[in-house]
Amino acid sequence: MKLIHLSDIHLTTPGNTIGGRDPRANFERALTHILRDHADAELMVITGDLSDWADRSDYEWLKARLQEFPLPVRLCIGNHDDRATFLSVFPECNEGGFAQGVKDIAAGRCLFLDTWGPESHAGFYCEARQQWLEQQLSESDGPFFLFMHHNPIPTHLAPMDAIGLHDDVAFRRIVGRHRDKIRHIFFGHCHIPMAGSTAGVPTTSLRGTNHASYVNFAETKMLLGSDLPESYGVAFIGEDYVTVHMIEFGYQGEIRSGGSPDYTAWDRETMQR
């Protein structure tokens, strides 16, 4: 089966831009690209930062737009969102007072986690949310797929880790207890492609559908932005594998087909054309 992962769409008032890019226009471009290449996907998940300023009008527009979209969609919230405002527009995402939930798909059970905290760009996973996750993982054999906004593992980029998941150790302990039935964890927030593992569970992230970050380990204070292409993710899930791609739908450069460059034009000794 196939599922689509988007993150950090950062919707704004129409005409407003971030980094010179129009988030609504780029979100629409992503949706068009997804339907062109992946209309057979079983589910699409957007892992947070749905609105750049948590404006109710952004959530209202998003709900109306997704009602027209032919694929099932589930949502998480991020640090740029506001839980109360989001849940007032998407009350179906409210479980126990948090923006969290469950959906079964052909490959297993998806859990959508709420890592939002008030007045902070960092992530939080309080005891109530930990208990909810523990209960969900305990009452079923899975397999499970977890979706969340904040990075559950260190990036080793100091400015990014300062706003990462502050309750990451407790979160990883829960994951570790159930890692045999959690197949993959998807997250956003960082605007960079990353792969690793959370307490032994494969974990991936990607750039957002609008603006991108940039990895520079020498920068210890400031978050960095770049003009790297807008992206979304696609995951192919089989019985004994998960393959995840980051699709750079915003790339504007040349795409060369097989056989290019023409190696008959290369000098074998100098390796120059």
pLDDT at 255: 85
- The backbone region for 200, taken as left when phi is positive above 0, alpha when psi lies in -120 to 50, beta otherwise, is left
The stretches in the chain having pLDDT less than 50 are: none
The pTM (predicted TM-score) of the whole model is: 0.95
Q: Does domain 2-265 have CATH number 1.20.1050.10?
A: no
Please, are residues 234 and 41 in contact by the beta-carbon 8 Å criterion? yes
Domain ranges in the chain are 2-265
Give the distance, in angstroms, between the CA of residue 197 and the centroid of all CA atoms in the same chain: 15
> Strand pairing partners for 119?
none
Q: Tens digits of per-residue pLDDT, 119-141?
A: 999 999 999 999 999 999 999 99
List the beta strands (DSSP E) in 30-155.
Answer: 43-47, 73-76, 94-95, 98-99, 101-105, 108-112, 144-147
Q: Tens digits of per-residue pLDDT, 200-222?
A: 999 999 999 999 999 999 999 99
pLDDT at 260: 59
Residue whose tokens read 């990895």: 215
pLDDT at 261: 61
pLDDT at 263: 61
